[in-house]
Amino acid sequence: MTTRIGPDTAARIARAWPELIGAFADGALVRDTLNNLGLTRNMLRAYLVANPQARIEWDAAREQSADALFEDALETAYNPSLDPTHARMRADVLKWAARIRNPKLYGDKAQLDVNVRTVDLTRIIESANARLHAAQSMRTIEHAPLEHEPVPAARAALSDLL
């Protein structure tokens, strides 16, 4: 639960903010950094609630810290002097922390962003129905009979085609 902090504590956090945010972005543990600065998690939470801009900076630093943690995991994996079991466990924990701090980049699951659009087809259907009705109600014009019979050669050619 967050608590309120006084103006003196807020000023103290504001002075330490660049160091705090920098250490967090570099992958340091929040607990250790807060202890070094003489602050508590509740003080930090209250400061973040009271300062929306600080919250934005904190979230950006959290995502940056994932890069540092992932690099530490790679460094651990490439270090031949470490015990293989310990190195594997340490690298797994660092990769897990990177996934938690920046799931978009280091997460296991693909996240789909599906935008659902609705289209009103009423006008299109009404227009199609109007065209259909117009086509069905068109008048058929009868051809007048020919006044003279076609020439016998033309009649023969027509009968061959049919």
The rounded average pLDDT for each run of 10 residues, N- to C-terminus, in the chain (162 residues) is 79 94 92 92 92 93 93 92 92 92 81 74 90 76 59 63 62
Long-range Cβ contact pairs of 8-12 (< 8 A, separation 24 or more): 9/43, 9/47, 10/47, 10/50, 12/38, 12/39
pLDDT at 114: 74
Question: 4 CB contacts (<8 Å, ≥6 apart)?
Answer: 46
* Residue indicated by tokens 């789909």: 112
pLDDT at 138: 67
pLDDT at 59: 93
The domain limits of the chain are: 7-106
* Residue indicated by tokens 């009868």: 142
pLDDT at 159: 64
Q: Which CATH class is domain 7-106?
A: mainly alpha
